[in-house]
A and B are shown apart, each in its own frame.
Chain A
Amino acid sequence: MPTSPSDVPRYDLAVIGAGPAGLAAAVTAADLGLRCALLDAGRQTGGQYYRHPAPGLGAARPDRLHHGWSAYTGLADRLAAHERAGRVGFLGGHQVWALERTGDGYAVHVTLGPEAADRATVPAAAVLLATGAYERQLPFPGWTLPGVVTAGGAQAMLKAGLVLPGRRIVVAGSGPLLLAAASSLVTAGAEVPAVVEATAYLGYARRPGVLAAVPAKLVEGAGHGSALLRHRVRLRLRSAVVEAHGTDRVTAVTVARLDADWRPVPGTERRIDCDALAVGHGLLPQIELATELGAATRTGPDGAVALQVDARMLTTVPGLWSAGETNGVGGADLAIAEGELAAHAVADRAPRPALVRRRARLRAFAELMAAAHRPGPGWTGWLRPDTDVCRCEEVPVARIREAVEELGAGDPRTVKLLTRAGMGWCQGRMCGPAVAWLAGSGEPGPDRRPFACPVPLSQLAAEQRAAAEG
């Protein structure tokens, strides 16, 4: 893709997100001759999946907290070579808050560092979105207590900071991340009295052919399983944590059996003492940068809204590509395959047929997993009127029901306008699925967030300026 000579110097491609998809895309695009910027909010590459300790912690064996660590080090080595050659600029600490279409390209608007110290604008002819996902949460009584953390959060804090939220950690929710999180936690020294999974995992068994085609997934699953067996972790299927107990921090949880619709079965409650709970219900693609530009979306079998892409990973917005979880959650291997595919397409080069086939196989498996972990409608049965749904604005179930039943709200946006649910700091990332559910709107719509992250007013007031080379 040539750079227009009349423009200020700009990148051929800005890759947003340095996780598996973004790393693979950036190094592949650079292999194919494109000049790339690789942006990430974090200071290190790796994203959430390959999150690892900062150098200061001197971790000799970060691989012990990871599956497929060599895939990461391979990508990181290629990136380092491209960086030395000036073909890729890694811009760490660059949090993108908006994409702006500028004639035949893009301006990527950035706020710098976790403290949002300054603004920058990165010009690029094309953009590849590899912003990954964050966890889907379903509220339950007590979920705002300190010590209740997301399953991914427990993993992130462990992988990066080598810390645990407690000594005895219940892991609960739904999805393959739970096994991975539990496995990491026990390996790192925590006691995990139970892994509580809402489904019966029957979904996978329905189409065994798809599973057999991806043996690596089975190996990964078996790895988690053996760690859990070794530590005598009890897996409770078709169950959920329906309440967390404690006053200023969690001290116990109540687990109940669920019926096939995820409705708690009365009389099956059982209390488990713990000092932390790691909970999550699958992942949600982080796509607001694209939907803000009008990119079309699709609702996956897990009920999560993902970007609609063609076989080349092009969204419906010209020059905007997407790879990995943003196209529907599917894990690191799929993300890498899609990153490589997208890079080929941006460079206008044909990918190897084997890569195309591999991606198709992994995507099919992802859809199967997604369908198995789709929340059942009965989960609202564990809510109480005073359960906070929106953590930021502290909006309880009763206020949302009032907006729906008395004030005529039938969709998440109206509920938000009438209750403030979703208006707080996280902009509905934590309560969005629950609010959509309680609003009765069925399938959630795409995220509409003009700003992908909060921006200091002084940076909006300041004139735009180009980012320093990475």
Chain B
Amino acid sequence: MRRTPAELVGAEPGPAHHIDFDGRPVPALPGQSIAAALWADGVLAWRTTRVGGRPRGVFCGIGACFDCLATVNGRPNQRTCLLPAEPGTTVTTQEGHGRADLAI
């Protein structure tokens, strides 16, 4: 049995809570980013691209590449690798520019 990152650093996190990802609860630990909570749940993609409709998730992990964008609490184009997963955060897979509601 391999150890986990949390075991490695002797983590004793506060109680887990949940965020909402596309209508389903995903557990999150206090202090984790949205992207980290999704990775911990085995989810690697939460956006589809504007041109090819391809799935994307974290690439650079430090806020530089903007690949991990998602609609968070109704606001599109949020960098999930930077935003904390707070109790009740709602994350929606973002399609393309995420602004279809504005189209005329």
The answer on a CB contact under 8 Å between B83 and A114 is yes
Q: Mark B8-37, 1 if CB is under 8 A from A, else 0.
A: 111111100000000000000111110111
Is the beta-carbon distance between B31 and A56 smaller than 8 angstroms?
A: yes
A224 to chain B minimum Cβ distance, whole angstroms, is 16
- Considering the complex of A and B, which 6 residue pairs feature the smallest CB-CB distances, nearest first? A161-B36, A56-B30, A153-B61, A54-B31, A56-B31, A425-B66
Kindly identify which residue among A42, A59, A157, A189 contacts B36, using a CB–CB cutoff of 8 Å: A157
The residue of chain A having its C-beta at the shortest distance from the C-beta of B82 within the complex is A114
Q: Given contacts A157-B39, A188-B4, could you give 7 more A-B pairs where the C-beta distance is less than 8 Å?
A: A56-B14, A61-B10, A64-B9, A149-B58, A153-B81, A394-B52, A425-B69
Chain A: which residue is nearest B2 at the CB level?
A189
- Which residues of chain B have C-beta atoms less than 8 A from A55's C-beta? 31
Whether B39 lies near A163 (C-beta < 8 A) is yes
Q: A41-B63, A144-B56, A394-B50 are in contact. Are A59 and B9 (CB under 8 A)?
A: yes
A219: Cβ under 8 A from any B Cβ = no
Closest residue on chain B to residue A394 by CB atoms:
B51
Is the C-beta of A426 less than 8 angstroms from some C-beta in chain B? yes
A158 touching B59 in the complex, CB below 8 Å, given contacts A60-B12, A393-B51: no
Q: Is A419 an interface residue (CB 8 A)?
A: no
Tell me whether B95 is interfacial, beta carbon within 8 Å: no
Expressed in whole angstroms, the minimum distance between the Cβ of A413 and any Cβ of chain B is 20
Q: Tell me the A residues contacting B by CB distance below 8 Å.
A: 41-42, 48, 53-62, 64-65, 114-115, 134-135, 144, 146-150, 152-158, 160-165, 187-191, 248-249, 286, 391-394, 424-426, 429-430
Q: Is the CB of B5 within 8 A of A56?
A: no
A424 to B32, CA, bound (A): 27
Question: Could you list 5 A-B pairs, sorted by A, with CB under 8 Å?
Answer: A56-B14, A153-B60, A188-B3, A249-B45, A394-B51
B64 A58 Cβ-Cβ under 8 A = no
**Could you tell me which residues of chain B, from 66 to 104, have a CB within 8 Å of some CB in chain A?**
66-67, 69, 72, 75, 77-79, 81-84
What's the least CB distance linking B34 to chain A, in Å?
A: 10
B60–A134 contact, CB under 8 A?
yes
Q: Are the CB atoms of B44 and A163 closer together than 8 Å?
A: no
Measured CA separation A158–B81 after assembly (Å) = 12
Interface centre among B4, B14, B64 (most CB of A within 10 A): B64
Contacts of A60 in B (CB 8 A): 9-12
- In the bound complex, CA of A379 to CA of B75 (Å): 39
Chain B: which residue is nearest A420 at the CB level?
A: B51
> Given the complex, which residues of A lie within 8 Å of B65, measured CB to CB?
150, 391, 425-426, 429-430
Least CB distance from A63 to B in Å reads: 8
Taking the closest CB of chain A, its distance from the CB of B53, in whole angstroms, is: 10
Q: Are the CB atoms of A114 and B79 closer together than 8 Å?
A: yes
Contact among A59, A158, A190 for B10, CB-based, below 8 A: A59
Select A149's contact among B6, B33, B51, B61, beta carbons within 8 Å: B61
Flag if B8 contacts A161 (CB, 8 Å): no
Is the Cβ of B69 less than 8 Å from the Cβ of A56? Answer: no
Taken together as a complex, chains A and B put the C-alpha atoms of A157 and B67 apart, in Å, by: 14
A61 to chain B, nearest CB (A): 4
Cβ of A257 to closest chain B Cβ, rounded Å: 26
Measured between beta carbons, the chain B residues less than 8 angstroms from A392 are 66-67
Whether A162 and B9, one on each chain, are in contact in the complex, defined by CB atoms closer than 8 angstroms, is: yes
Partner of B29, one of A56, A115, A134: A56
CA distance A165 to B38 in the complex (A): 10
Least CB separation from A278: chain B residue:
B61
Closest B-chain residue to A147, C-beta based? B44
Residues of A within 8 A of B10 (CB): 59-61, 64
Determine whether the beta carbon of A161 is less than 8 Å from that of B4.
no
Contact B58 A153 (CB under 8 A): yes
Q: Which residue of A lies closest to B43 (CB)?
A: A146
Contact of A160 with B36 in the complex, beta carbons under 8 Å? yes
Q: What are the residues of chain B within 8 A of A424 when measuring CB–CB?
A: 66
Instruction: Give the distance to chain B from A328, nearest Cβ to Cβ, in Å.
Output: 19
Q: Knowing A188-B5, A391-B67 are in contact, say whether A53-B11 is a contact too (CB < 8 A).
A: yes
Q: Give Cα distance in the complex from A106 to B68, angstroms.
A: 33
Interchain CB contact under 8 A, A430 and B60: yes
Contact between A54 and B9 (Cβ–Cβ < 8 Å)? no
Contact in complex: A189, B13 (CB < 8 Å) = no
Q: Are B32 and A161 in contact (CB under 8 A)?
A: yes
**Which residue on chain B has the smallest CB distance to residue A430?**
B65
Q: What's the minimum C-beta distance from A91 to chain B, rounded to whole angstroms?
A: 16
- Other-chain residue from A54, A144, A188, A429 in contact with B84 (beta carbon distance below 8 A): A54
Question: Is B62 within 8 A of A153, CB to CB?
Answer: yes
Inter-chain contact B54/A144, CB cutoff 8 Å: yes
* Chain B residues with CB under 8 A of A286: 64
Chain B residue contacts of A61, Cβ below 8 A:
8-10
Assuming the contacts A114-B82, A150-B61, asked whether A164 and B55 have C-beta atoms less than 8 A apart, the reply is no
